[in-house]
């Protein structure tokens, strides 16, 4: 594989750490800035909403820029955003810096995927994209636990300073290793008409809604893992980072398993993973009260959560077959992040205005069931459309005139067998 792919993976690593490390630092941020845990959790929602807004906005504004130039600009925004997070004097400045950083996230993976596929032979494009996304996986397994430990040991600001250094290094390696390219040509797929065409398909919209709802459930629980582990399960703050490693191992296993199953049986995998996610979240409600069971449940949550990713992405792409697949893929990434934002808010609402921290996973488990209902509705519409396409249409032949004002006589057609 070209070494430039590893430069893209470095950028993906930094972005992944920035998005998820705040979850392990909610207690530290809330104490330092004098806000509630639920308010600190909204820093995750703000980031996710920044991705949702930034994806279509930056796509429209930067479509004609050379891709390498755009990647470097995104890494500058990413680096400055993390530096602003580290220096933020108050909660709202930190929120604004998180949203700014999210704008870089919004376009990096889309542009990086295009660049990655251009670096390899046609039969290795999927592997190139997977290698780039390895950076995101490593961020969850190693970067987030290390960042959590660093923030708890030396203050949460030190974590964002460390990610700022990662951004500088990623900028350097992208500048040195990624080859220059011509400005990206606009296509019908990127036009407003193409966007409207994709969003006008009911099954695509239902697929996006399924993605949103499934990840509302994931992030309602995932956002508040640190306080759940310390205040419900009885772990010390120092134990949170090693437990997040268990979550990371689960997400690797779930991601690989979900992808393999989706390759063989896509629809059953979509349905099955949504059911599994709901079951795991319900089981966590009891498991978090016993330390060993809590660790096992968190590993299963990682597996169940990321087992949904590949099937949902493939399902939406299948519904958007044709010129709109690229747009549908971007919107589905935005849908994941919209689910992240709503999920963080939902978990905070349960803590502040509902039954409390111990019931977060119970409420979270209900949301994938709603996603399952939407998915089943989409499948029903698919079957109805398939039946409509398969039903034979009658051959409409206009009646032959029996006579006309010009004196044409009636048509008599003998269809009997010819005489000998």
Q: In whole angstroms, how large is the CA radius of gyration of the chain?
A: 26
Would 1-179 and 196-389 be classified into the same CATH topology? Answer: yes
The proportion of the chain whose per-residue pLDDT surpasses 90, expressed as a percent, equals: 37
What is the mean predicted confidence (pLDDT) over 148-170? 92
- Domain boundaries of the chain, sorted by first residue: 1-179, 196-389
Query: What's the pLDDT at 401?
Result: 55
- Structural domain 1-179, CATH architecture: Up-down Bundle (1.20)
What is the mean predicted confidence (pLDDT) over 296-305? 94
Burial class (CB in 10 A: 0-12, 13-18, 19+), 53: middle
Residue 329 to residues 9, 116, 145, Cα–Cα distance (Å) = 20, 16, 29
Domain 196-389: assigned CATH number: 1.20.1250.20
CA distance 378 to 375: 5
φ/ψ of 66, rounded to 5, equals: -60, 140
What is the band of 394 on the pLDDT scale with cuts at 50, 70, 90?
low
Q: Do residues 184 and 114 touch, judged by C-beta distance below 8 A?
A: yes
pLDDT(404) > 50: no
Task: Please tell me which residue, 417 or 333, carries the higher pLDDT value.
Answer: 333
């Amino acid at each position: 594989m070209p070494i430039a792919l590893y430069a893209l993976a470095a950028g993906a690593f930094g972005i992944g750490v920035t998005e998820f490390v705040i979850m392990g630092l909610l207690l530290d941020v809330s104490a330092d800035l004098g806000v509630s845990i639920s308010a600190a959790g909204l820093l995750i929602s703000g980031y996710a909403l920044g991705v949702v807004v930034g994806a279509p906005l930056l796509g429209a504004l930067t479509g004609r820029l050379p891709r390498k130039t755009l990647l470097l600009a995104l890494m500058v925004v990413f680096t400055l955003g993390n530096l602003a997070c580290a220096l933020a004097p108050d909660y709202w400045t930190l929120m604004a810096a998180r949203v700014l950083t999210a704008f870089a996230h919004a376009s990096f993976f889309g542009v990086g995927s295009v660049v990655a596929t251009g670096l390899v032979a046609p039969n290795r494009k999927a592997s190139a994209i997977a290698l780039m996304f390895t950076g995101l996986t490593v961020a969850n397994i190693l970067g987030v636990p290390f960042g959590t430990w660093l923030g708890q040991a030396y203050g949460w600001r030190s974590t964002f300073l460390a990610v700022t250094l990662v951004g500088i290094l990623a900028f350097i390696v992208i500048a040195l290793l990624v080859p220059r390219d011509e400005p990206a040509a606009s296509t019908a797929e990127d036009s407003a008409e193409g966007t409207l065409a994709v969003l006008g398909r009911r099954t695509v919209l239902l697929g996006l809604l399924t993605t949103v709802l499934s990840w509302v459930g994931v992030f309602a629980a995932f956002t508040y893992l640190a306080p759940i582990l310390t205040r419900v399960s009885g772990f010390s703050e120092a134990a949170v980072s090693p437990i997040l490693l268990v979550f990371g191992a689960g997400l690797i296993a779930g991601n690989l398993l979900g992808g393999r199953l989706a390759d063989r049986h896509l629809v059953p995998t979509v349905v099955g993973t949504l059911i599994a996610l709901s079951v795991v979240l319900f089981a966590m409600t009891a498991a978090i009260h016993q330390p060993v069971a809590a660790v096992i449940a968190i590993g299963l949550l990682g597996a169940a959560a990321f087992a949904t990713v590949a099937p949902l992405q493939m399902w939406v792409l299948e519904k958007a077959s044709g010129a709109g697949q690229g747009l549908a893929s971007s919107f589905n990434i935005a849908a994941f992040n919209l689910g992240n934002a709503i999920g963080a808010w939902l978990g905070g609402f349960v803590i502040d205005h509902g039954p409390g921290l111990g019931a977060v996973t119970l409420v979270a488990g209900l949301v994938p069931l709603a996603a399952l209902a939407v998915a089943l509705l989409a499948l029903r519409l698919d079957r109805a459309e398939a039946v409509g396409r398969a039903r034979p249409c009658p051959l409409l032949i206009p009646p032959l005139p029996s006579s006309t004002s010009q004196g044409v006589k009636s048509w008599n057609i003998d269809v009997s067998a010819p005489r000998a």
